[in-house]
Each structure stands twice: as structure tokens, then as C-alpha cells.
Chains A and B, each alone.
Chain A
Amino acid sequence: MRVVWLYGLLLCAQVAGAADGRLLGSGGVLSVDGAAGGGLVPWAVIAGHSEGREWDVSAAASMLDSGDYDVRAAAVALGWRNRLELSFARLSLGLDGLVERGRFPDRRLDADVIGAKWRLAGDLVYERAPQLAIGMQWRRSRDAGLVGLAGAEDDRGVDVYLAASKLWIAGIGGRRTLASLALRSTQAHQLGLLGFDDTRSLTLEGSLAVFLHPHWLLGLEYRGKPDRLGFAPEDDWADLFVAWLPDKQVHLAFGYADLGSVGGLDGQRGWYLSLRGAAP
């Protein structure tokens, strides 16, 4: 249903604006949180391909199955003049593994993320220095009562991050190569799906991605995570992904992610798939 709504929105945007002022792939895909970047990690890039006075809208639907859990994410992001990105994502965590063990009522845990990102300086491709961006993510659990029972101190929190990204046209093996780092201050337990802490943690995230072919991107990502929820240790995340970018509208990412321990269940890893569309 949500996906239908998203693509409806894309169709509307299709009538409105056109953006193809930047090179293919320079807006990344939409991460689970809605920010443009890799699958799990935000980059300093603005979503879509806007440049000059252009703007565009991207939307993505993602799913991941880690064995005991499944994560679904739907996101939209507006990219404005290669300067500002506004995004919204809804995350939903299915808890089959916990429900089967009788540790949790038969429900999903949902969270919303409203994001804003501002390109501070630089150009991803054409300048020696990396492109820099600052971002904020206002996160809110939609299941305040349940995450409270599970031990979270709060049902909302704000992330602030600084990202630096650089693309070398003739990088590794003469292929376009992108490296990105982000430093984040966050209160969220598992992206906010398990609620929030009162204290902040600093985490480091990074990606390395190579265009093996103009339309095929191979990438590695690492997302440091805080570990402050007493009953359930939280691990750093890592993933390996392949993205197919046939054109500036459609990007498809397919990956294998290791989420470590989630909600007291160890060894959560599995495949994920993310389809992103942009208008027009």
C-alpha cells in the first residue's frame, strides 16, 4: 500500500520537475533512513541529479530479511539545486523471531525519520577536496509504549551528522571510485526502532564503492552503532552491495548485510533489496 502511495507521488513529481544536471549515480541510492548514500550509510551527496536550478524527487522501497527479523523501509527524498535534501522514511521491523520465542507480542515496531541535509562545500567529482554536507534526522518511534517497556528512555531523538564524500573518475582499476565517511551523533537504538537513549553517542560510518561498469556499482559499507540498550546489545552493521543504475530514474540495489545482535538475538544477517525511482 505504502509503495503504491510512494510511486503515486513520484508520478505527480514527474509532471513537475526534471533534473539531469549531474552525472549518473552522483546522488547514490536512498539509504534505509531516507538520506541519499549507500544502503545503510548517508553520503555527502544530495539525492537525485539536480544541479543549477533543478530539483527532483526520489523514492525507494527496501526490504531486508535477517532470519529472525525483517526490515521494511519506504522513503522519499527531495533534492533541491544540488544544495538541500529533505527526506522522509518509514521503517518497520518485523519481530517473528522474538514472537516465536514468546518474548514479544505479535506486532511490528515502526519508526519515522524526517531528514534534512545541506551541502556545505565542495563537489563530489570535480574538486580535489571532498564534498561536505551536514545532516539532521528527526527520529520518532511509532510504538512509544512498547519501546518504553523494552527499556528505551525516550520515544524520539535527533541525529546530527557530518559527511565527506569524494569520487575519483579514474580510481581503483581505472574505475570510478567513491569513498565516504560520516560522523554521527545519535540517541537511537537500532535506528530508533527500539527507541532512544537520553545520552548521545558518536559513531563513525563509511562506504567504499566502485563503478565496475558505468551502470554497475559494487560497494562496501560500515555503520558504527551505539550500544546503550541494557537488555539487548547492539552491534555495528556492515554490508556488501551491488547496485544497477540503468539510468537516472531507476536504481536497484541488492546486498548482503550483517546486523549482528538485534533485540537480544545474535547473528542477524541476510539479503536486502532496494528499488529507487526518481522523477522524471
Chain B
Amino acid sequence: MSRLLLCALALLLGACASTRERSLYAQLGGRAGIERLVMIAVEKVHDDPRIGELFAQTDLEYLRERLVEQVCQLADGPCEYTGLSMPDTHSGMNLSEREFNWFVEDFEAAMREAGLPLAAQNRLLARLARLRGEIIRQ
């Protein structure tokens, strides 16, 4: 049994060593990769029956542009986010924990569809997740 445990640990640690050699921005495929990802993600969110309605009045082209900047900046890419602050843009929506998770699920599905490596998906998601406190219940 203990040998089994050791073996599993070794596997986990092995997986550990193989990441982090490229910047997240590069792993996402640079500007073009991020544009593609955001294109898919906005479409998924917009089509999601659970939250799509929230975007009924939204200028999707504008949203995509801001999201590309934001994701690029979060991934340490050469961009500057020029949109509203997270609390300001989501204020009045009183978004719930559930709605945030559904957005995350759509975003994950988009990252999968864009063919991003799982570690890159998770690194980006971890950075987006840190914004939750500024987005829900505003």
C-alpha cells in the first residue's frame, strides 16, 4: 500500500515539474489566441439560458474588446485594460455565487474548445477567480 501511495505522489510531483516554462500569455496563444478564446467565451455566455439574458442589452463587440484586454493583461501580456472597474461595470446586477460559477463553466468550456492546455486553462481561471469578490453582490 505505501508503495502505491509513493508511486502516486511521484506521478503528481512529476506533473508539477513540467509546467511554468512559458508565460501564460504565450500559452494562451498570444493576442490571436486570446481573441479566439474571448470570441468563443462571449458566445457561450450569451447563449447560456442560465445567464444569457443578462447580456441582452450589451454591446457584445465592446465587451469582447474589453475582455481581450483584460485577459491579456491578467496573463502578463502587453496590453492595458481600458474598461470600467469590475465593481462599476457589474454594479446593480447583484450577481450571485451561482451566476459567477455558471460564467466560469462557460468560460472553461470555451477554453477547452479553444484547445488550450489544461494547466494554462487553470492558471487563467485562477487569476479570473480572484476577481470574484469585486464582481458578485455589487
CA distance A24 to B108 in the complex (A): 11
Name the contact of B129 in the complex, choosing from A51, A126, A212, A214 (C-beta under 8 A).
A126
Name the contact of A238 in the complex, choosing from B5, B9, B104 (C-beta under 8 A).
B5
Who on chain A is nearest to B7 by CB?
A240
Q: Are B104 and A172 in contact (CB under 8 A)?
A: no
A269 interface residue, CB < 8 Å from B? yes
B interface size (C-beta, 8 A): 32
Q: Are B119 and A172 in contact (CB under 8 A)?
A: no
A23 to chain B: which residues have CB within 8 Å?
A: 101, 104-105
Q: Are B123 and A170 in contact (CB under 8 A)?
A: yes
CA distance A28 to B11 in the complex (A): 22
A266 → B minimal CB distance (Å): 13
Q: Are A214 and B98 in contact (CB under 8 A)?
A: no
CA distance A210 to B126 in the complex (A): 15
B89 interface residue, CB < 8 Å from A? no
A interface secondary structure, majority: loop
Who on chain A is nearest to B105 by CB?
A23
Mark out the residues of chain A between 1 and 29 whose CB falls within 8 Å of any chain B CB in the assembled complex.
20-24
Q: Are B5 and A220 in contact (CB under 8 A)?
A: yes
A173 to chain B: which residues have CB within 8 Å?
A: 12, 14-16, 18-19, 119
Chain A residues with a Cβ under 8 A of chain B: 20-24, 51-52, 54, 82, 125-126, 168-176, 210, 212-214, 218, 220, 238, 240, 256, 258, 269
